[in-house]
């Protein structure tokens, strides 16, 4: 990012400013000076440039703590450049990227290579998550202090559950002294092996093997037990079952240091989507039942589940065309996260707009320890998203910025769209047709 572009005074004029971190929800101006927020309030001085936010929501930049950028090793699916361009297009100013690359991010050199690529070519902030175990093989814990010092934001073997109880204990023990955040992909391999959709009705109807919901809950229950013994910052990735929501709820009630995320697709779709979308609705954990979706929504609204993530997992069309049984797991999500969540949660009255922004910006910032983000407080970095909550559109495969288009929402009618994304005051995305909102006063 070119810091020179962010110098001077920018005023985002007359938007509906929503900043849950300061309980702000009113029409106002936001002034940015040299890449930092100066104030939320009527702009005093003459700016170097203005952005007309009339009719738009102006909020702290969205943060996605679960993204697969695929680089290194999966560049035919996505790169740091294309993935972060898709992120900025979806309103995200920061993403945490998962370490299941080729090679995996399990050592300082690979971590530095990702950070270097991000520094030179990313369109938003990139926070690499390092592996929990060497090679993500679930046997030997990585050198957490060294990786953390080099910039790992958290540790996860995402894509694979940490099956071995003794190794799990060793990983927890290693995380504690360096205050590392662990992100667990809860999946007991023996209970999911061979499955490609949720166990039950749809699996039977299609004649494919199912994934037992206990694959998720058994590992989560074990981890909560480990936390009881000696606490460590622990985050559950992509909660998908009613029972997992209950386990997190009880863990929090006990005071355990557990946080949780739910993906947009687990909030929006039941296992029935597999019948319509085929392999583009195949992911881990799988789409579940209506009762599970309802529990995830309730959990998110009552604070049991802290935040929304995308688990953006690009795959080539060729790979997804192998069919439900053989296609890889995962769906893209960065560009649809805001409108789909808006439709499922805000339009239905489950959350107000501030509640949604809280779960897509403030909470992920808090969990990741990004104290300068998820807020429009004076003095913090000017990571700002401008959203049109009325734009109505239909998602088509070729409209996606991401290098891959394996979305379960293709053809879906969406309401809401990102109009502009500013990172440290620099505009990293402007929606087509919105360029006229940007002006340099003469
Ligand atoms: Zn995962």
Cα–Cα distance between 154 and 177 in angstroms, integer? 14
Q: Is 302 found in the same domain as 187?
A: yes
Ligand 1 centroid–CA 390 distance in Å is 32
Give me the count of residues in the chain.
442
Q: Is 38 found in the same domain as 102?
A: no
User: In terms of Cα–Cα distance, which of 100, 64, 77 is closest to 406?
Assistant: 77
- What secondary structure letter does DSSP report for 126? E
Cα–Cα distance between 416 and 29 in angstroms, integer? 21
- Note the pLDDT of residue 422: 98
Dihedral (CA of 132, 134, 139, 143) sign: negative
Residue 158: inside a domain, yes or no? yes
Q: Is 68 found in the same domain as 31?
A: no
The domain that contains 431 carries what CATH number?
2.30.40.10
Grouping H, G, I as helix, E, B as strand and the rest as coil, residue 254 is: coil
Q: Is 404 found in the same domain as 297?
A: no
Number of domains in the chain: 2
- Overall average pLDDT of the 323-340 stretch: 97
Q: Considering 314, 342, 368, which residue would you say is the last residue of a domain? A: 368
Q: Is 81 found in the same domain as 35?
A: no
Ligand 1 centroid–CA 205 distance in Å is 26
- Note the pLDDT of residue 6: 60
107-146, pLDDT tens digit by residue? Answer: 999 999 999 999 999 999 999 999 999 999 999 999 999 9
Phi, psi angle pair for 93, to nearest 5°: -105, -10
Give how far Cα 92 sits from Cα of 69, 128, 201, 212, 338, Å.
14, 15, 36, 33, 9
The catalytic site residues sit at: 311
Token digits of residue 256: 């355990």
pLDDT-derived band at 343 (thresholds 50, 70, 90) equals very high
Residue 374: inside a domain, yes or no? no
Ligand 1 centroid–CA 420 distance in Å is 29
Q: Considering 307, 337, 368, which residue would you say is the last residue of a domain? A: 368
Token digits of residue 363: 């909470």
Q: Decide if 429 contacts 418 (C-beta within 8 A).
A: yes
174-221, pLDDT tens digit by residue? Answer: 999 999 999 999 999 999 999 999 999 999 999 999 999 999 999 999
Residue 375: inside a domain, yes or no? no
- Overall average pLDDT of the 58-76 stretch: 98
Q: Considering 306, 335, 368, which residue would you say is the last residue of a domain? A: 368
Cα–Cα distance between 229 and 222 in angstroms, integer? 11
The domain that contains 354 carries what CATH number?
3.20.20.140
- Note the pLDDT of residue 441: 64
Ligand 1 centroid–CA 401 distance in Å is 23
Ligand 1 centroid–CA 250 distance in Å is 22
- Note the pLDDT of residue 396: 96
Phi, psi angle pair for 150, to nearest 5°: -85, -5
Ligand 1 centroid–CA 264 distance in Å is 13
Q: Is 75 found in the same domain as 8?
A: no
Ligand 1 centroid–CA 160 distance in Å is 7
Q: Is 398 found in the same domain as 280?
A: no
Note if the bond before 285 is cis, omega within 30 degrees. Answer: yes
Residue 279: inside a domain, yes or no? yes
Q: Is 148 found in the same domain as 23?
A: no
Q: Is 81 found in the same domain as 183?
A: yes
Residue 1 has pLDDT above 60, yes or no: no
- Note the pLDDT of residue 4: 45
Q: Which domain holds residue 340?
A: 61-368
Cα–Cα distance between 235 and 233 in angstroms, integer? 7
Residue 376: inside a domain, yes or no? no
Q: Is 391 found in the same domain as 245?
A: no
Q: Is 162 found in the same domain as 23?
A: no
Residue 26: inside a domain, yes or no? yes
Give the count of beta carbons closer than 10 Å to the beta carbon of residue 107: 19
Ligand 1 centroid–CA 159 distance in Å is 4
Give the count of beta carbons closer than 10 Å to the beta carbon of residue 215: 24
Cα–Cα distance between 152 and 241 in angstroms, integer? 29
* Better pLDDT: 423 or 8: 423
Q: Is 211 found in the same domain as 198?
A: yes
Ligand 1 centroid–CA 430 distance in Å is 31
Give the count of beta carbons closer than 10 Å to the beta carbon of residue 224: 18
The bridge status of strand 57-60 relative to strand 9-19 is parallel
Residue 255: inside a domain, yes or no? yes
Residue 373: inside a domain, yes or no? no
Token digits of residue 278: 């085929």
């Amino acid at each position: 990012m070119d810091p020179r572009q962010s110098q001077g005074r920018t005023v985002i004029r007359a938007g509906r400013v929503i900043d849950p971190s300061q309980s702000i929800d009113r029409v106002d101006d936001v002034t940015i000076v040299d890449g930092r927020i100066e104030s939320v309030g009527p702009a005093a001085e003459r700016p170097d440039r203005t952005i007309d936010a009339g009719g738009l929501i102006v909020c702290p930049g969205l943060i996605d703590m679960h993204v697969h950028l695929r680089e290194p090793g999966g560049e035919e699916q996505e790169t740091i450049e294309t993935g972060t361009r898709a992120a900025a297009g979806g309103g995200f100013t920061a993403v945490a990227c998962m370490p299941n690359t080729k090679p995996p991010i399990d050592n300082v050199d690979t971590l530095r290579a990702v950070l270097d690529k991000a520094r030179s070519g990313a369109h938003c902030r990139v926070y690499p998550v390092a592996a929990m175990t060497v090679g993500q093989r679930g046997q030997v814990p990585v050198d957490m202090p060294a990786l953390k010092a080099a910039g790992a934001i958290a540790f996860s073997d995402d894509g694979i559950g940490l099956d071995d109880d003794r190794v799990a204990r060793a990983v927890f023990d290693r995380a504690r002294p360096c205050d590392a955040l662990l992100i667990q992909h809860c999946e007991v391999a023996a209970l999911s092996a061979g499955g490609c959709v949720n166990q039950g009705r749809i699996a039977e109807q299609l004649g494919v093997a199912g994934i037992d919901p206990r694959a998720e809950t058994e590992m989560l229950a074990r981890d909560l037990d480990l936390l009881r013994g000696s606490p460590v910052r622990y985050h559950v990735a992509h909660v998908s079952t009613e029972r997992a929501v209950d386990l997190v709820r009880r863990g929090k009630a006990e005071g355990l240091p557990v946080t949780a995320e739910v993906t947009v697709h687990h909030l929006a779709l039941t296992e029935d989507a597999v019948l319509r979308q085929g392999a583009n609705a195949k992911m881990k954990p799988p789409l579940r039942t209506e009762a599970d979706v309802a529990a995830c929504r309730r959990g998110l609204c009552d604070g049991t589940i802290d935040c929304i993530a995308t688990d953006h997992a690009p795959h080539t069309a060729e790979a997804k065309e192998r069919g439900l049984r053989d296609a890889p797991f995962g769906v893209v999500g960065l560009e649809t996260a805001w409108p789909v969540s808006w439709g499922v949660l805000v339009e239905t009255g489950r959350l107000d707009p501030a509640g949604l922004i809280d779960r897509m910006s403030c909470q992920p910032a808090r969990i990741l320890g990004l104290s300068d983000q998820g807020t429009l407080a004076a003095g913090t970095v000017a990571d700002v998203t401008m959203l049109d909550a009325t734009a109505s559109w239909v998602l088509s495969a070729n409209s996606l910025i991401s290098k891959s288009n394996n979305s379960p929402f293709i053809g879906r009618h969406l309401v809401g769209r990102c109009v502009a994304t500013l990172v440290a005051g620099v505009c990293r995305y402007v929606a087509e047709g919105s360029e006229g909102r940007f002006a340099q006063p003469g």
